[in-house]
Amino acid sequence: MASQAAQLIDPVAHARLRTRADEARPEYEKTVSALRVLRRRHPYVRYITSFAVHNGQCVTVLDTGETESDVSHIGDPWLPDDELASVLADEHVLCNVINNDNFGVWISGTAPIRDAEGTVVAAVTVDIPAVDSRGRPLLYNDRSRTLTATLEAAAIRFSRAEVEAITDGLTGLYNHRYLHERLGEELERAQRRGSKLSLLFCDCDRFKVYNDNFGHKAGDTALARMARIIAATSRRSDLAARYGGEEFVLVLVDTDTAGALAVAEHLRSQIELSSARSKYPLTISIGIATFPDDAGTRDELLDKADWAMYAAKRAGRNCVHAFSDGIDPRPAARPRIVPPPSRRDRRARAGQALA
């Protein structure tokens, strides 16, 4: 269905629709009318909507609405789900999506709108309700009620399982596995756009001593508090994750080293301030590496940010160090940067002295 809708949309005419005033254009009414005809041919379809990215913001363009008086307008901001964002970024999505919200269970399909060169310039979604908010079937008759109930339960379970699969149970941040997956995608996006991406590798200072002195419950509470500060420091486009143990990673998209240093220093000071008010004070050391200046791959970026974090610990802990600053944090002449050893080798040598 979404592919059929995409074929009805002229990409050139679609690109001319930029503001609400453009709804007076004949091509707007012609295309919306064609999409409404398609919807009438398929009675179960509720919405057909097209989206584009204008000035970095996903916005609606065409919307059939449930009625002609109930439509989104050109330029209305829209927060895209992962599937829509992937299609707009020309990352092929081979699935329909089942999701549930306060209005029921939905099956959604998304298709790209391509120009003559094959470039994705917009996307169109088709939304079909499976059940309403009271669990009443909309796609199936009463004999299929069991299937409908199964769909609803599966959507709820899938949503919960999906969240649990990518988040850390203690802190609520993204987990190690999802960090690696998303970081690879963000690096590919940065490479395509020619933009920078910085990674902050954060490690809680002397956390083993803290745990030994105050117990694991106090340690978990402290880690959760740090995670809240990290999440509050990040933007919606950034990626905050628990790397493991007392280590955290914050990925800053569209951010160079100077911008990352400012964010890292703010984060460090906020954690220090929060810890100062706590019964058990804690601080963090932060290392920074930037793509493509310092590293060209995901693993290299993580390794160099981690190495820079250890340089921050050598500088006395509770400070920030960038890979580009070199290995000697003293203000005297800095030696030439050489590739760092592997994380395993470096940590084996560091031992507990830098914990």
Known catalytic residues are 246
Residues 217, 218, 222, 225, CA torsion sign: positive
Q: How many residues are present in the chain?
A: 355
Q: Are strands 284-291 and 320-322 parallel, antiparallel or unpaired?
A: parallel
Closest by alpha carbon to 186, among 249, 243, 259, 253?
253
Determine contact, residues 15/121, Cβ cutoff 8 Å: yes
Strand partners, 307: none
